[in-house]
Homo-oligomer: A and B are copies of this chain.
């Protein structure tokens, strides 16, 4: 009697038996009981290494990482791999550039490796149902949600912050420190993605704080790179843009904003205050340390794996979890 025989007798996968044997979560209670009953009836003694054997032969999940140079994602990958391993899943990593097609990549990975599910670490917010259908296994969007594409919320899962609300908090914090002329540095005000959502949060916060949004304050730089943010801010300041605080919609953009301001002879925070969103490790070593809204990276990484495991084990798709970003006060903001 092997683990395979037990699996066959129960009508479940070897991985499921392995998870029951190892007391791991994400096995439905009735399945768990059935497996334990058969194990008892058959006087089955698991062979050492059976669990790991099962892992190399079965149930794999794919992780498609979008944005090669994004330290934010890199810091999450190890947590995803660790949690997947704990839950008995094999993992396949794929790294793609921001411009590349994460859906096509995930679909091909799922096919070639017979994956049971895919975690998209970063991706587009506006994929259509037709596009999403290319991936024929469950998908969990991690750090974002496909909210612009018209895909039914039951057909995918997600775990992420509320982008609009987080931007709202960042800008409200600057206003609470006395700033009135608050600029936003962002790729685009309308990209059906993070940038558009955080722009909405900025506008809402400005309005609620009774502050005017005028053209000079909106520094659209075209893309998410540090290079673009640096050039955009430098040009704006050289053209006379007048603000005492800047909200960079990501840490990388906020750091590039600080550098551009510094190169224009502005001191941070004496002349201009800066806030970001993300909480990447490097921000703590900048001079000055960046004040930022910290995304709960480990929580999102763990939940993404747990949600995909749940769905693979038969729970319903359509799990959407919003997590909180927390303000970490650095040295980049001063009271005006």
Q: Which residues of A contact B (CB under 8 A)?
A: 56, 68-69, 71, 74-75, 77-78, 81, 92-95, 97, 112, 226, 230, 255-256, 258-259, 262, 281-282, 284-287
Contact of A69 among B92, B281, B284, B287 (CB under 8 A): B281
Would you mind naming 14 contact pairs between A and B with Cβ atoms under 8 Å apart? A68-B78, A69-B74, A69-B281, A71-B71, A92-B92, A93-B94, A226-B281, A226-B285, A255-B285, A258-B285, A258-B287, A259-B284, A262-B287, A286-B286
What are the 6 closest A-B residue pairs judged by CB atoms, nearest first? A93-B93, A68-B78, A259-B285, A262-B287, A56-B112, A74-B74
B68 and A69: CB pair below 8 A? Answer: no
The answer to whether B285 and A230 have CB atoms under 8 Å apart is yes
Q: What separation, in Å, do the CA atoms of A68 and B77 have in the docked complex?
A: 8
> Which of chain B's residues have a CB closer than 8 A to the CB of A68?
74-75, 77-78
- Asked if B81 contacts A95 (CB within 8 A), the reply is yes
Identify whether the interface residues of A are mostly helix, strand, loop, or mixed.
Answer: helix
* Chain B, Cβ-Cβ closest to A56: B112
Contacts of A282 in B (CB 8 A): 71, 255, 282
On whether the beta carbons of A256 and B230 are closer than 8 Å, the reply is no
Across-interface contacts of A56 in B (CB, < 8 A): 112
A141 to chain B, nearest CB (A): 21
Please measure, in the bound complex, the distance between the C-alpha atom of A92 and the C-alpha atom of B112, giving whole angstroms: 12
How distant is A11 from chain B, measured CB to nearest CB, in Å?
27
In the complex, what distance in Å separates the CA atom of A95 from the CA atom of B85? 13
Q: Which listed residue, B97, B281, B287, touches A286 by the CB 8 Å rule?
A: B287
Other contacts beyond A68-B75, A92-B92, A226-B285: 4, CB < 8 A: A69-B75, A69-B281, A93-B94, A287-B287
Q: In the bound complex, what is the Cα–Cα distance between A78 and B230 (angstroms)?
A: 24
Contacts of A226 in B (CB 8 A): 281, 285
Instruction: Tell me the minimal C-beta distance from A258 to chain B in angstroms.
Output: 7
A15 vs chain B, min Cβ distance (A): 15
Contacts of A74 in B (CB 8 A): 68-69, 71, 74
Q: Which residues of B contact A75 (CB under 8 A)?
A: 68-69
> Which B residues lie within 8 Å of A281 (CB)?
69, 226
